[in-house]
Structure 1
Amino acid sequence: MTKIRVIVGDETLSATLDDTAVARDFASLLPLELTLSDYHATEKVADLPRPLDISGAPASYTPRAGDITHFAPWGNLAIFHKPFQSARGLVRLGAFDGSIEALMQDGAFPVRIELAGQGAR
């Protein structure tokens, strides 16, 4: 399992990626500077620089609050702050280790996602 940090303004959130091929592919993109925006008052989404390889991943996933996922049909990152129904093409990457309160902002906002061992801010 790979530890990552999601930096939102002055807040640093800890998360753990699953030990899966798709999560390792996501980790290979880090560090990333993304702009998160709200989607259906349920998740924060951002475009990734490229689609992730979902070979061998389950066909669908039922997300919970705090899950970090990839929605393969759109090629985006989706961070859920509320649970949602099972969605075909949704693949879990990992989950936050604690509070995600810093992500509960209105509108679009920048975040940095990096491996926990990568450079300090």
Structure 2
Amino acid sequence: MDISATIDGRPASASLNDSPAARDFAGLLPLTLDLEDFHQTERIADLPRRLTTSGAPEPAAPKAGDLAYYAPWGNLALFYRDGDSANADLLILGHIDADADQLGTADRITIEAAS
């Protein structure tokens, strides 16, 4: 599913996968989130509610640009560096096509359904 992302006012193309968690996330859109750095690998933000984790795909190590949901905390993660390992609690929702510098310094992201 194509979505629209704006990172600190700059548009970026993005898409969600077809997982139950990604479809549940799409139901929250439009959404604007303030991001903070986490472990110099990802930018994170709290979601307004927890997402479903039923039917979750096999764990995969996140790549730069991946949009993911960390189930134990109920937060969204936007990776600007590749993650070091697969984690069963981290569900990849989709991908944002932006360079690592833009992702790594992002303070605010707005995500909407594609028009």
TM-score when normalising by structure 2 = 0.89
State the secondary structure of the residue aligned to 1:87.
Answer: coil
Q: Return structure 1 stretches of 4+ with deviation > 6 angstroms.
A: none
Q: 1:95 to 1:38 in 2, by over 3 A?
A: same
1:115 matched to 2:108: no
Q: What amino acid maps onto 2:55 in structure 1?
A: G
Contact 2:81 2:100 survives alignment (8 Å): no
AA at the equivalent of 1:38: D
Structure 2 residue identity aligned to 1:17 = L
Q: In the alignment, which residue of structure 2 is the partner of 1:13?
A: 12
CA positional deviation for 1:98 = 4.6
Give the secondary-structure state (helix, strand or coil) at the position aligned to 1:24: helix
Residues 65 and 103, structure 2, Cα contact 8 Å, conserved in 1: no
- Is residue 13–residue 100 contact of structure 1 (8 Å, CA) maintained in 2? no
**In the alignment, structure 1 residue 93 sits paired with structure 2 residue 93:** yes
Which structure 2 segments of 5+ residues have no match? none
Identity percentage of aligned residues: 44
User: What does the per-residue CA deviation read over 1:80-111, in whole Å, with 9 as the maximum and x for residues that have no partner?
Assistant: 111111123000101123535422217xx222
Is the aligned partner of 1:61 residue 2:60?
A: yes
Q: Tell me the number of residue pairs that the alignment of Structure 1 and Structure 2 aligns.
A: 114
Verify the 8 A CA contact 2:19 2:55 in the aligned structure 1.
Answer: no
Question: What letter is aligned with 1:99?
Answer: D
